[in-house]
Structure 1
């Protein structure tokens, strides 16, 4: 499935399941062992990790690596069956996707540098959702509505979801800090 394009799949949302923890532990264990000796950090990011949130059944992992480790990281990740995808709007990060047996993505790995790690919108947004259950449930509801409106089209769903997140960020960033 390496020749599939970015949005060549039908979006499916599933209820929260803690199954992602097992997959994360498996993948992060392989990565940690394969990249031992390098100064890396990794976290699960994205909707999948937020309790009660409906999400695509895709695990997103972000890895911070030093520039000199990029080639080895690329070899390890592609050796695990993921495809490197060039996505201009991701701001220089390296993005990998694994296609599941159903033809839909089931794993994304985002490889970033120190600056990208420190300023990662995915990490900030995940943490906001984890701290605020009402926001997470509202976001979950909005995602299901956007899925219905986009009729499962991955490109349309992605654009709408990203625009919603930008609007939510604007609102949250404009609010005065809580005392």
Structure 2
């Protein structure tokens, strides 16, 4: 990551109204042999009642952000039937919701006529875009930030179009 790009925590701490995140990949690079995804594949599932076992710094950040009145929304465009990785994300999304995020899912076939940016992104206060670049194998690449009005408008319009069609997390059924 370039040193000129602020950290995500720095960017969201300056956010005053809204932070939206659009995810469009069916898998992101993870360690398939160890870690949370491997544990999930072996049958581990978080227990809603045991918050201490799954709460993590990301959730602290989201809870703090939401408590400041910032509306945090995440939309995921997914292929169906979903990938194993998407199923893993779905099973753990209740943690994001508990922390204050609103999450929706949109089957990819229902997104065909939406003009989408070429990359996943975060959009802060409808004006600052943080692009998330990934390699073909799903590993994270450099981050890029722009305040270009046309890019912010593209992201805002795309996100709202996805959001309006997407299914709230508690209503989405994995296929």
**TM-score, normalization: structure 1?**
0.33
- RCO comparison, higher one (Cα < 8 Å, 6+): 2
**TM-score, normalization: structure 2?**
0.34
More strand by share: 2
